[in-house]
Amino acid sequence: MIVENFKNLGASAIASSVRAGDASPSDMIRASFQRAREIGAGPDGLNIFLHSDESASMEEADEMKKRLESSPDVGVLAGVPVAIKDNIASLGLPTTCASRILAGYVSPFEATAITRLRANGALIVAKTNMDEFAMGSSTENSAYGPTRNPHDVRCVPGGSSGGSAAAVAAGITPIALGSETGGSVRQPAAFCGVVGVKPTYGRVSRYGLVAFASSLDQIGVLGRTVEDAALGLETIAGFDKLDSTSSDAKVPIYRLSALGGPAPETRSPDTEAIRLGRSPVPLAPSPGATTLRGVIIGKPKEYFPDSLDASTKDLCERAFDRFRSLGATIRNISLPRSPLAIPVYYILAPAEASSNLARFDGVRYGLRVDPGKGLKAMYEATRSQGFGPEVTRRVLLGTYVLSAGYYDAYYKKAQAVRTLITDDFRSVFASGVHAIFTPTTPTPAFQVGAISDPYEMYLNDIFTVTANLAGVPAMSVPIGRVRRLPVGGQIITAHFDEFTMFRVAYALEAALGAEAHQ
Amino acid sequence: MAVTRQDVLHIAELARLGVDNARADELTKELSAILAHMEVLSQIDTAGVPTTAGVGAEGTPLRPDVGERPVMERTLESFAPAMRDGFFIVPRLATHEDPAESGA
């Protein structure tokens, strides 16, 4: 029963079944790979997986079974299959960032986020497709071909974490890791009808996340439900001495199921988790998913322009009605500098990328193309053949805005406007607003190949990129469908207030019920 | 401000990216079009506004300034394109190979 119903099961249900002995970890691995085959996750189908090894995953499951036999307390994710975006360093499976320049590269170390998942019982089943080096909004920029949206194969799944979002949407894994620099978890979550969380900058260790734009990058979680996303974030969040920008702020329990009573799962006393500094503390229980009394939700006018897709706007209005019926107060607010976020982001992110991607030079790892004409020719041949068109474009853009004569006009200016954008958020939250609600994207998923102009593609990030610039947490939750395609609503809260963000998300999910997917 | 073909070739050299003539023409148009959208920032008064290089997560603790060697489960030799005696091997500098360029 557990195995037959696998695609609909949440992570908590899987872990409970495994701990209770109703299903084995290997049952879950078999079910995950079976579902991947059914849905066509391979390169000839949806092209979700870049790397997977069923026999290695089965060996991991067998190890988990031995751990279970000695103690049922193997963690909150006991036996839960998880998919990982291919820019997060893993042992065993390659880490290529969907780029030719890292073809076949297997990391010698593991990202802290993966170590924490495994320490809590998760089983890694695959590395997922993405836009090359996370540069894109559609997963069309992968060197290994585009991923398709499970809801409509003619459409993109969003990006850059498109493979991870599609894996969750297709029922292959209940949880997947993605990464965000400008919306790369929330936008594909919206396009694929799943939940996507970008935590506060510093909440989750970036150790092992291949750097794109270091002042913006964060690892995020995709889940089928708010509960699964909360469980995933709880597991990977917290201080890590291996990331100098990691915060030592306490990590609350985000799961509603674990609040207001004894937690149903006992956290693993795994020494590795202790070494990594995890110290979750439960906050006071929330009043539950059925009320938002006393909560003030901001509706920023800049995120509801006249040009917004009418159906998307209608679904947002329905969500606001639900918030009101739950007792929340809706307040009209302004984030006046948000319209400047796309120009700011597309100066700062390429500038940081041009520096971070200098390490791919054919010397220490990855591809080397040597035409036999010396060192400089080797660099140029390696990088021009290893990087795809969008990565090349952004490296050049970043080099330009950092070069002599343009630094002040572009880079320094963008850094100052970033301060103003962040100030807007601080002012709104200081005025008493608890959460902000907006559409996640201007439109539902578009068709593969429909957008060829680079700047038009960049505009997909228009509602998500501000949270990255300001460093605040944000998540996308399904709020309905337009022409069969999912639409996401975005909840943004103050720095390190993921607790309130999840509280609002739980309430909306419960209030919409099946309407969230209709 | 429009990007010229010469600009593209210059920044491509700085970024160590080989760009052929046809691609240089395309990139000139693409980068000019993208940067045209950035001009809006020049209208914003940022006098006295501090710059933000990072969002400075609250609670980011300082640690002793002592480096630790990362734990590596595989050796450098297992993924480096070329190594010998613990050193990465790179091609010779072109100036050492070409007597005309080196002035020899």
Answer yes or no: do A393 and B31 touch at CB < 8 A.
yes
CB < 8 Å to B61, chain A: 239, 248
Q: Are strands A218-223 and A329-333 parallel, antiparallel or unpaired?
A: unpaired
Answer yes or no: do B50 and A419 touch at CB < 8 A.
yes
**Selected residue with higher pLDDT from A477 and B2:** A477
Chain B interface includes A450 (CB < 8 A): no
Answer yes or no: do A384 and B18 touch at CB < 8 A.
yes
DSSP secondary structure code for residue A331 in this structure: E
- Provide CB contacts within 8 A for A341, sequence distance 6+: A421, A462, A465, A466, A469
Are the beta carbons of A489 and A498 closer than 8 angstroms? no
Give the minimum alpha-carbon distance from B68 to chain A in angstroms, rounded to a whole number: 9
Residues 230-269 of A with CB under 8 A from B: 239, 241-242, 244-249
Strand partners, A1: none
Chain B interface includes A326 (CB < 8 A): no
Assign B93 a pLDDT band (cuts: 50, 70, 90). Answer: confident
CB < 8 Å to A370, chain B: 91
Answer yes or no: do A374 and B93 touch at CB < 8 A.
yes
Strand partners, A454: none
CB < 8 Å to A383, chain B: 15-18
Answer yes or no: do B59 and A247 touch at CB < 8 A.
yes
ipTM: 0.90
Q: State the pLDDT at residue A3.
A: 76
Q: State the pLDDT at residue B1.
A: 63
Chain A interface includes B14 (CB < 8 A): yes
CA–CA gap between residue A203 and residue A502 (Å, rounded): 15
Residues 23-42 of A with CB under 8 A from B: none
CB < 8 Å to B12, chain A: 396
Q: State the pLDDT at residue A365.
A: 95
Residue B51 is nearest to which of A91, A246, A412, comparing CB atoms?
A: A412
Nearest CA in chain B to A349: B53
Low-confidence ranges of chain A (pLDDT < 70): 1, 258-290
**Nearest Cα residue to A515 out of A472, A466, A479, A462:** A479
Q: Are strands A123-128 and A81-85 parallel, antiparallel or unpaired?
A: parallel
Answer yes or no: do A105 and B79 touch at CB < 8 A.
yes
Q: A317-345 pLDDT, tens per residue?
A: 999 999 999 999 999 999 999 999 999 99
Residue A397 is nearest to which of B31, B42, B75, comparing CB atoms?
A: B31
Q: B3-54 pLDDT, tens per residue?
A: 999 999 999 999 999 999 999 999 999 999 999 999 999 999 999 999 998 8
* N- to C-terminal Cα separation, chain B: 43
Q: State the pLDDT at residue A284.
A: 41
Phi, psi of A261 (to 5 degrees): 175, 180
Answer yes or no: do B63 and A244 touch at CB < 8 A.
yes
Chain A interface includes B69 (CB < 8 A): no
Q: State the pLDDT at residue A1.
A: 61
Chain A interface includes B2 (CB < 8 A): no
Chain A interface includes B25 (CB < 8 A): no
Structure tokens at A176: 């997947």
Answer yes or no: do A343 and B59 touch at CB < 8 A.
no
Chain A interface includes B47 (CB < 8 A): no
Answer yes or no: do B81 and A354 touch at CB < 8 A.
no
Q: State the pLDDT at residue B58.
A: 59
Answer yes or no: do A393 and B27 touch at CB < 8 A.
yes
Q: State the pLDDT at residue B101.
A: 46
pTM greater than the 0.90 cutoff: yes
CA–CA gap between residue A24 and residue A10 (Å, rounded): 16
CA–CA distance from A413 to each of A259, A343, A348, A407 (Å)? 45, 11, 10, 8
Answer yes or no: do A392 and B17 touch at CB < 8 A.
yes
Secondary structure (H, E, C), A187-249: HHHHHHCCEEEECCCCCECCCCECCCCCCCCEEEEEECCHHHHHHHHHHHECCCCCCCCCCCC
Q: State the pLDDT at residue A261.
A: 40
Chain A interface includes B16 (CB < 8 A): yes
**Nearest Cα residue to A516 out of A476, A486, A483:** A486
Nearest CA in chain B to A336: B44
Q: B61-74 pLDDT, tens per residue?
A: 777 888 778 789 99
Chain B interface includes A310 (CB < 8 A): no
Q: State the pLDDT at residue A277.
A: 34
Give the minimum alpha-carbon distance from A412 to chain B in angstroms, rounded to a whole number: 7
Chosen from B52, B62, B75 to mutate, greatest number of chain A CBs within 10 A? B52
Answer yes or no: do B34 and A245 touch at CB < 8 A.
no
- Residues of A annotated as part of the active site: 85, 160, 184
**Selected residue with higher pLDDT from B97 and A22:** A22
Give the minimum alpha-carbon distance from B14 to chain A in angstroms, rounded to a whole number: 8
Give the minimum alpha-carbon distance from A240 to chain B in angstroms, rounded to a whole number: 10
Whether residue A160 has a cis bond before it, omega within 30° of 0: yes
Q: How many CB atoms lie within 10 A of CB B60?
A: 17
